[in-house]
Structures are given as C-alpha cells and as structure tokens.
C-alpha cells in the first residue's frame, strides 16, 4: 500500500513550511527526511540554508539538498520514511532557469521540461510507494503577475496534478490550514 501523500500550498510566509513540519513530526515513520530545493546564490541565502539545516538536524531531520534532478534522492529513501519536500516552486525555477549563463536553459529547449516533469512524476510515485508519508510544499504564485508565463503554466499543471493525486490537499492562508481535499 502506498504511503500517504499530502500537498500543501500557500502564499509567501503563509506558514506552509511550519505546518508541513508539524505534520511530519506527528507522522509515524522510521526517519524524518527533509528534501530542500533551495540554492545558495548569495551569502544571505547561504546563511539561511545553513541555519535551516542546523535547526532541522537538532530536531532529528536528515536533510537532502536537491535543487535539480529530483529523482537523485530515490536511492536515499528508505521504507517507512516520513519525507517532506520543500518546495516545488524552487525546484521548478531551478529546472527551467537554473543554468542561467552556463548553457541553454531548459525553458528554451523544446521538450526539456516535459521530460523533467515525467521524471518528477515517476519520482513522486516511487517515494510514495516507499515512504510512510510524503508531504510536498509549494508556493501559490499563480495570482501574481510574473514575467515568465511558462513558469506559471508549469506550476499550475504541477499543482493540479499534485492535488489530484494527493490524499490530502491543504491551502495555507495567514497561518490557517484550509483543507481543500
């Protein structure tokens, strides 16, 4: 039987990560595994990532930094883990635009994001089959005017897919969890 899949979305500073962590702490499982998609692009972000990693370690989390190629975490997932991934929006930006200045962006290559999306779907399914509980966090930015409409399209598709496949879908608003599914 597959582990429980919980999808949590909400605006910036809505409390979604703290809520996801509280759910993970209550979930029954062997280990608590935190998959973080952030990238330290400046000293402030590097300090923030280090602080979060230290905070999680003192709370019993095992942290994996995985900004690209999400499926690379699969060999590290063990049966009955409680897995929290934070977050989809950062991963998507990294996949679409992460190679800025180095090579052609995935966003500019036909079929590139389609392939990465298929890989992500397969990885999510594999984690769900192995983990006791899999909690996925994402920012709700679809109401914001963005320069990159392709990003919004992909994020909307991913959110809809996650909501459809999740056992529970929660929207965070001002620190309040609103169960949508």
pLDDT band of residue 41 (cuts 50, 70, 90) is: confident
Burial class (CB in 10 A: 0-12, 13-18, 19+), 160: exposed
pLDDT band of residue 144 (cuts 50, 70, 90) is: low
- Mean residue pLDDT of the chain comes to 88
- 168 CB contacts (<8 Å, ≥6 apart)? 4, 5, 6, 7, 179, 181
CATH number for the domain whose boundaries are 4-179:
3.40.50.300
Global pTM value = 0.90
């Amino acid at each position: 039987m597959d582990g429980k899949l919980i999808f949590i979305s909400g605006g910036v500073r809505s409390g979604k990560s703290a809520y996801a962590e509280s759910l993970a702490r209550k979930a029954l499982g062997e280990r608590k595994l935190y998959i973080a998609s952030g990238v330290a692009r400046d000293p402030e972000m590097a300090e923030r990532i280090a602080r979060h990693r230290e905070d999680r370690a003192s709370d019993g989390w095992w942290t994996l930094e995985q900004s690209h190629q999400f499926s690379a975490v699969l060999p590290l997932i063990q049966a009955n883990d409680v897995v929290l991934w934070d977050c989809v929006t950062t991963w998507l930006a990294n996949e679409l635009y992460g190679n800025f200045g180095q090579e052609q962006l995935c966003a500019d290559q036909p079929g590139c994001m389609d392939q990465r999306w298929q890989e992500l779907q397969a990885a999510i399914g594999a984690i769900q089959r192995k983990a006791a509980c899999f909690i996925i966090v994402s920012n709700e930015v679809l109401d914001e005017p963005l320069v990159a409409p392709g990003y919004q399209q992909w994020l909307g598709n991913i959110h809809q897919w996650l909501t459809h496949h999740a056992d529970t879908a929660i929207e965070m608003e001002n620190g309040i969890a609103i169960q949508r599914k």
